[in-house]
Amino acid sequence: MFISAIDGHKVLKDSDLPKNDAGFIKIDGTTKVEGFDYVYAIGDLSALEGPDWKAKQGHLAEAMARICAFNIALKEGIEKGEPKNYKDHIGIICLMDMGRKGAGLVYRNDKKAMFLPMPVVGHYLKKLWGMHFKLVKLKKLPKLPYINY
């Protein structure tokens, strides 16, 4: 699914929530909506802060959900520690499938950017990753350590 970074949803535009010029909800690093104590926004609804190359990807939306839940629990006294920030998770990782010709691995964070062409084998790695991802979400396989998905 492609979510345009240029134009927010009409429902958001018609709301009284604080929005950026594109119509996405303004949030702070903890995912809290600016000017509200108990209103949070994550994923495609939110206006991301960060470098020009930032992208709204699924792994960032999932990290934002975990961060939001933790920060609410922290505010309610259920958790202890410091508020967490979604900006620590901004990065791009994508295996771009180019059909039977292969794929390209794209990776970027605030320290490095990389494109690794993967002729032929990349297409099949993308298919395997899709199957793995689905089985993890169905709880038929454990998550790989150190990977947020």
The domain spans of the chain are 10-88, 91-137
Residue 138 parent element (H or E): none
What are all long-range contacts of 52-58, with beta carbons under 8 Å and residues at least 24 apart?
53/92, 53/108, 53/113, 54/90, 54/92, 55/92, 56/3, 56/5, 57/92, 57/93, 57/94, 58/149
Quick one: pLDDT at residue 5? 59
Quick one: pLDDT at residue 147? 64
Q: Which CATH class is domain 10-88?
A: alpha beta
| Residue type, position 51, single letter | P
Residues of the chain scoring pLDDT < 70 = 1-5, 146-149
Quick one: pLDDT at residue 44? 86
Cβ-count burial of 9 within 10 angstroms (0-12 exposed, 13-18 middle, 19+ buried)? middle
